[in-house]
A and B are shown apart, each in its own frame.
Chain A
Amino acid sequence: MKWILLVAELLTVGSALIVAINPNILYSAVFLLFSFLGVAVMYLFAGADFLAGVQVVVYVGGVTILILFAIMLTQWLYRLKLKDIGSKFVVPGVVLALGLVPFLHRGLTELGKMVQAAPPEKMAEFAGSPKTALIGKALLTNYLLPFEAITILLLGALVGAVWLARPKA
């Protein structure tokens, strides 16, 4: 099972690399999509299934579309050949990014081992119960204020965004 995780990590890091290096901005956006998908798979391996779903819904479905709209609707943006100013940083960047992968892998698999090393009754409870229910309970009790604060944040973001997009009379 571990190799799927490795593939996902390489996909994420590799796509992120292409996002940073590729001179074609549309390709960058497309590989950003793959990067998001890779992150979602990593969330799955960390046991956060609900979060993986949120990642796909919000990022792949929303942010990617947003970025693609921005690129496709702005003519001069597409013609821009992104010349990396710091081209001498490419090789160290690649090395650093690839060096990140073992850490990621170790971290995520250690998380899995920690879960399995927990006392059996706790582990059974953790593995069996849907995480969504746990998150829901937590949001309703311990984290109620952040929950309501989320909505105020969203409201602010909504108003701000449409205000910015308004034609200036």
Chain B
Amino acid sequence: MLGVGALLRPKSIPTRRGTQAYECGEDPIGSAWVKFNIRFYVVAIIFIIFDVEVAAVLPVATQFKEAVLNGGAGLVFAELFLFIALLILGLIYCWVRGDLEWVKGVTLNAPKK
């Protein structure tokens, strides 16, 4: 609830408008567009996957301490391990297939599909 208060905080930018001189900045050569780089998109997708993973592990992690103290920790650990292992597998897959390379062309295995 308190976060809402922070979110609704009014934006206070008191600016004093001086003479609005027309300013000619550096002249951009060509249009202001960036060539399409898919690596940004790939990074964002991988982020979402791992983020959802963290969000799913969080509630389980809060129960781990109790499980350790009251027994049954092995089971919880096995479940956690399975979850994280599968995602490590996914990361390894991406890594080996060269999807994590930022600069394309330095890929180790050129993907063949």
Contact = CB atoms under 8 A, between A and B. Distances in A.
B28 to A, nearest CB: 15
Interface of chain B: mostly helix, strand, loop or mixed: helix
A151 B62 contact: no
B53 A66 contact: no
Interface stretch (A86-94, A112-120, A128-136): A128-136
A92 to B, nearest CB: 31
B99 A74 contact: no
Instruction: For chain B, give the interface size range.
Output: 35 or more
Contacts of A169: 110-113
Contacts of B75: 140
B29 interface: no
A73 B37 contact: yes
Contacts, number: 132
A139 B41 contact: no
Interface residues of A, number: 50
A63 B4 contact: no
B41 A69 contact: yes
Interface string A133-164: 10111011000100110111011011101110
A33 to B, nearest CB: 12
Interface of B: 1, 4, 7-8, 33-34, 36-38, 40-42, 44-49, 51-53, 55-56, 58-63, 67, 75-76, 79, 82-83, 86-87, 89-90, 93-94, 97, 99, 104, 110-113
Interface pairs A-B: 5 shortest CB-CB: A136-B59, A136-B63, A62-B48, A135-B59, A162-B99
